């Protein structure tokens, strides 16, 4: 059973436009969420996180939105740059169980110049 879903395997966006990557989860006990970015032949690197006590967290061009009632979060990248082209993983955890993060399958973002 997939507790964390990223239903778009890929996304293409023009440089300078907004990229919106979506993530849905099924476990209502999840209370901490992270986004990771992965380039080919490298490990995932941390991008941004959000706790369930917030509905938005911003870091530069990256903003994560959390809708707890819909069990949905999204990552917005504005403006998108060619260097943002990578696979983006959403991860979720129930902090009562420590760092047992559950990852989604990832979305491949291509930012076209």
Partner 1 sequence: DTAVSQTPKYLVTQMGNDKSIKCEQNLGHDTMYWYKQDSKKFLKIMFSYNNKELIINETVPNRFSPKSPDKAHLNLHINSLELGDSAVYFCASSQDANGAGELFFGEGSRLTVL
For partner 1, the binding residues in 15-54 under the rule CB under 8 A are 32, 34, 36, 41-46, 49, 51
Phi and psi, residue 8, nearest 5°: -100, 110
In the chain the first and final C-alpha atoms are separated, in Å, by: 38
Among 66, 104, 109, 111, binds partner 1 (CB under 8 A): 104
d(CA 2, CA 26): 8
Residue 62 touching partner 1 (CB under 8 A)? no
d(CA 101, CA 19): 24
Among 24, 30, 66, 106, binds partner 1 (CB under 8 A): 106
Structure tokens at 6: 């990223």
Residue 98 touching partner 1 (CB under 8 A)? yes
Residue 13 touching partner 1 (CB under 8 A)? no
Structure tokens at 41: 């032949």
Binding residues for partner 1 (CB under 8 A): 2, 32, 34, 36, 41-46, 49, 51, 87, 89, 91, 95, 98-106
């Amino acid at each position: 059973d997939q507790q964390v879903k990223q239903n778009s395997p890929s996304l293409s966006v023009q440089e300078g436009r907004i990229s919106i990557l979506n993530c849905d989860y099924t476990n209502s006990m999840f209370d901490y969420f992270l986004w990771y970015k992965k380039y080919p032949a490298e490990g995932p690197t941390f991008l941004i996180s959000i706790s369930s006590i917030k509905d938005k967290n911003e870091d530069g061009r990256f903003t994560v939105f959390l809708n707890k009632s819909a069990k949905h979060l999204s990552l917005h990248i504005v403006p998108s740059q060619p260097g943002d082209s990578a696979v983006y993983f959403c991860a979720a955890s129930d902090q009562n169980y420590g760092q047992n993060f559950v990852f989604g399958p990832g979305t491949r973002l291509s930012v076209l110049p």
